[in-house]
Amino acid sequence: MSASPLSDADIGRLKVNQKRLMEDLHHTCTWGTGKKWGRQAIFTGMTRLALSDDDKRARDWFVQTTRNLGCDVTVDSMGNTFAVRPGRRDGPPTCAGSHLDTQPTGGRYDGILGIHAGVEMLKVFEDNHVQTEYPVGVVNWTNEEGARFPISMVSSGVWAGEIPIERAHNLQEVGGGTATMKSELERIGYLGSVPASYQSIPIAAHFELHIEQGPILEAERRKIGVVKGVQAYRWYTIDVTGRDAHTGTTPFSSRADALLLAARLITRSHDVAVKHSALGSTGILTLSPGSVNTIPGHVRFSLDIRAPADSTVETVEAELKNAFASLASQNSKLSVEWQTDTTSPAVNFHPDCIAAVRASAESVTGSADLVRDMVSGAGHDSVYTSRRCPTSMIFVPCRNGVSHNPEEYTSPEDCAIGAEVLMQSVLRYDRLRAERASA
């Protein structure tokens, strides 16, 4: 390739190897394979929880593969892994980033595709002897899902300086286990010595390829979503306390049924969210004592509230707190307590990165009609990177809009289109940096 910054024509000539991309992805999905849902061997979900043995195997593959491609690999104190390929000039890398961990009953594409597209980008550069102006890299962020250690995007949050590392290291695994993030990082050999910090490991820009996790692109027959931002959300833990009692000897008038109240609260959260064009969801519910003939005396449930605007989330929260208190007050033996676990404000991505993605999407697809602007309904590591460096995301369709499900699926053709848009976006931003440095 030319010794000067790459032209649009140079960038357009670079093509990802679809067969290699998919073979690599499916190879690493032999570590943590989940529920089978179709006849082909690749038609399975994934159960690769963060910092598990299977996660270690996928991480080891990522480290060895990127080192073989000439990258310097750094592991920070949260296990975030940065593989950086040198450029002509020194400076922070322009990065592609995502994650390798999955939900307990997740699929093969959420997060995983973004990492493999980044690795394929590095392979294309090696195949074509591309020398970028500045370093470029791929980042595997730890525990993005928050499925095993219950704060999503926790490690990119530590890197961004938004979550204290002590809080992250002390997170205990869900499900009654005693492991913490720090103990598991130590166990699998990914507790790095470099501080997890944007100051210790700066990034010039962050691009993330991801499946849409919704139905819009498929329904509109579009190929690429140019992600301009991420909607606001908050996670809560709600504790409902009543009184254990015998189901056969306690009349309704004397009960303090924590589960019955919890059911009413969850239903009300749905109704209030609908009223404000927001989303309200409960994904975790635990109760005690858990006996057929004992009225539950305690229930704990999660509550996830999302909306495009911070003000809407705040309105829903305030209305629900009043509604929950009112419902609990109908029985003096019942009480409700709130705990806010995660607050993620609405995010607007950087115009330079958005422009790079849009230009790349139109170049790869050959038509602006196959591209549309979008706001992400889900949180991603790009939420936190956007607070410390220019950031944007690229969405590709997923069948029936299904994600966090074993049947999550994106066609090989759409995976390759997304990977090519990612590669072009990184190269266009690298060129922009060089042009501005020379101006």
Q: How far apart are the first and last CA of the chain?
A: 23
pLDDT at res. 342: 83
Helix (H) or strand (E) holding 340: strand 335-344
State residue 311's pLDDT score.
Answer: 97
Q: What is the CA radius of gyration of the chain?
A: 23
State pLDDT tens for residues 92-132.
999 999 999 999 999 999 999 999 999 999 999 999 999 99
Query: Is the Cβ–Cβ distance between 224 and 243 less than 8 Å?
Result: no
Kindly report whether the peptide bond that precedes residue 289 is cis, defined as omega within 30 degrees of 0. yes
| φ, ψ dihedrals at 298, nearest 5° | -150, 135
Q: What are the strands, taking DSSP E only, across 22-181?
A: 33-36, 44-46, 72-75, 81-85, 94-98, 136-140
Closest CA to 226 of 356, 372, 118, 368: 372
- Summarize pLDDT for 233-291 with one digit per residue, the tens: 999 999 999 999 999 999 999 999 999 999 999 999 999 999 999 999 999 999 999 99
Domains along the chain?
A: 8-231+347-438 (3.40.630.10), 232-344 (3.30.70.360)
Instruction: State pTM to two decimals.
Output: 0.86
CA nearest 139: which of 124, 153, 125? 153
Beta bridge partners of 294: 246
CA 341 to CA 400: how far, in whole Å?
Answer: 31
Pair of tokens at residue 62: 């990522």
pLDDT digits (tens, 9 = 90+) for 377-406: 888 999 999 999 999 999 999 999 999 999
Condensed to tens digits (0 to 9), the pLDDT of residues 6-45 reads: 999 999 999 999 999 999 999 999 999 999 999 999 999 9
